[in-house]
A and B are shown apart, each in its own frame.
Chain A
Amino acid sequence: MANPLKCDLCSKPATVHLTQIVNNKVHKVDLCEECAQAKGVTDPSGFSLADLLLKASLNPEPAASGMKCEQCGFTQADFKKHGRFGCPACFDTFSSIIEPMLDTMHKGTTHTGKVPQKALARKTLSDRLNKLELDLTEAIKSERYEDAARTRDEINQVKHSFGQKPPR
């Protein structure tokens, strides 16, 4: 035993080794006696391996420190403290620390389930509408009236398709 395993949570020598196999993927957690007790690993009333994996994966600090979400001001240090993110945009900001985490935490790293089709379609339409309105202002400003007329027609078309399924 040249290199004894260290506890994933506190880096004392690990004596409790958990292995979980999901879909032929092996997930391992190594814990010292104390952390295993504290986390209730031996307790039949249950413990959450996901939480352990989450904390363990946070432990050796990733090199890229000091990232901050522009949308909500959430920092990497905040994540280490709370284990929760600040807003949906954080998943773009912190993608470099999230991705390696997902692999140990989940069965896969890509969503394969339900998709909010209606909400997505609505978003596509409203994004398109915003862009067209910008185009329209731009065309009028630079006196390209033919373009403006065409854009206006397009806007009406998009609004009409909105009208069939009114957004709220």
Chain B
Amino acid sequence: MTIASLIDTPSELTDAASSKTAIVLMTRVRLARNLAGNAFPGWAKPTQREDVLAACRDAVAATAPMKRSLSINVDELSDLEKQILVERHLISRELSGAKAGAGVVISKDQTFSVMINEEDHLRIQVLRSGFQLKKTWAAINELDSALEDRLDYAFSPTLGYLTACPTNLGTGMRASAMMHLPALVIGNQMEKVVRAVNQLGMVVRGLFGEGSDASGSIFQISNQTTLGEAEEAIIKRLGSVLNSIIEHELNARQKLIEADANKLFDKIGRAYGILQNGHLLSSSEAMNLLSLIRLGVDLGVFPDAHRCVIDRLFIEAQPGHLQHAQHGEFEPGQRDLLRAGRLRAEFANFAKPNFTLSSDGPN
């Protein structure tokens, strides 16, 4: 498969996601793995990096999920292509800026991706739309075992899988969920939630990982520690933290409605107006407006079927996807114009808001 056809195929997170899950948009698990006897990518010489890349690319491409996959070196990708892969969460920002001798293998359906020579020799990732921690873990566990047939992993009985950074030792696993938490943001409760989640050994980040902002009220919650606890135990603990965050978000929504439903409807109605009629929208403003429409869907203001449209637009409003759709590279100012145009077209046919709350309330 080529990069061009991959980009033109909808990702798991766009059209494929007929997401019924209101709050968890996506589940992701990644495993850090290294080859025994080889220097880690950040310390390896260029020829060593090339050797590891070649060995890993072959081994990864030979596994069942990677049948007819895209297997490509990072330096074969244009900047725009890299940006699109980052926006789809298929490669990290770090890999997109990697020096020579780095690559990625992405499955045809874009649910599996394996980065080679990022911080570790292998960063295996499985991504599923919705709240599917156990299934995602099962899928990645299977791929990891298949790779182990072909590759000698660096492993210590006491420290587990050996990784370049000691924060990833042990399982080498980071499990995360991307959550849409607009009511906690509107109600100024997010800081409290972040602190509580941190105390439980979990980390909260913005949409695109470390250091990114939380535009669109989208947050990533993941486990912080990797050593001293089995994978299933980490998954279970993360799952219960996520469930309790979901509960808090639902309570916050209920409170917003009870306190002043008109204030909330005003926000949603204005967002709808701007998306239908705005002419200049930055990506973070677009994300925040789309977030309010998504909240509107959850509250029954818009039909349920429209949630997947918003989830698709969350990605298509990003700079890389926007420029790809317009076949060119544009300055940020021009992009805002194009983005607004794109959203006006989408929202011209969007359902009219219905602000009479149904009796079953928000779901």
Contacts and interface: CB of A to CB of B under 8 A. Distances in A.
A54 interface: yes
A83 B212 CA distance: 21
A72 B38 CA distance: 9
A132 B203 CA distance: 50
Interface in A26-65: 40, 42, 44-46, 48-51, 54
Nearest to A27: B201
B162 A108 contact: no
B187 interface: no
A45 B225 contact: no
A112 B134 CA distance: 18
B165 A84 contact: yes
Contacts of B39: 71-72, 86-87
A49 B214 contact: no
Nearest to A89: B37
Interface of B is mostly: loop
Nearest to A21: B199
A1 interface: no
B119 interface: yes
Contacts of A108: 227-229
Interface in B139-196: 141, 144-145, 148-162, 164-167, 169-171, 173, 190-191, 193-194
B205 interface: yes
Contacts of B227: 102, 105-111
Contacts of B214: 44-46
A42 B170 CA distance: 29
B166 A119 contact: no
Given A88-B37, A111-B160, A119 B151 contact: yes
The 3 nearest A-B residue pairs measured at CB: A108-B228, A111-B160, A88-B154
24 contacts: A22-B200, A40-B211, A44-B193, A46-B203, A49-B198, A49-B224, A50-B225, A78-B43, A84-B42, A102-B159, A102-B166, A102-B169, A110-B158, A111-B169, A111-B170, A112-B229, A112-B230, A113-B230, A114-B141, A114-B171, A116-B148, A118-B148, A118-B149, A168-B150
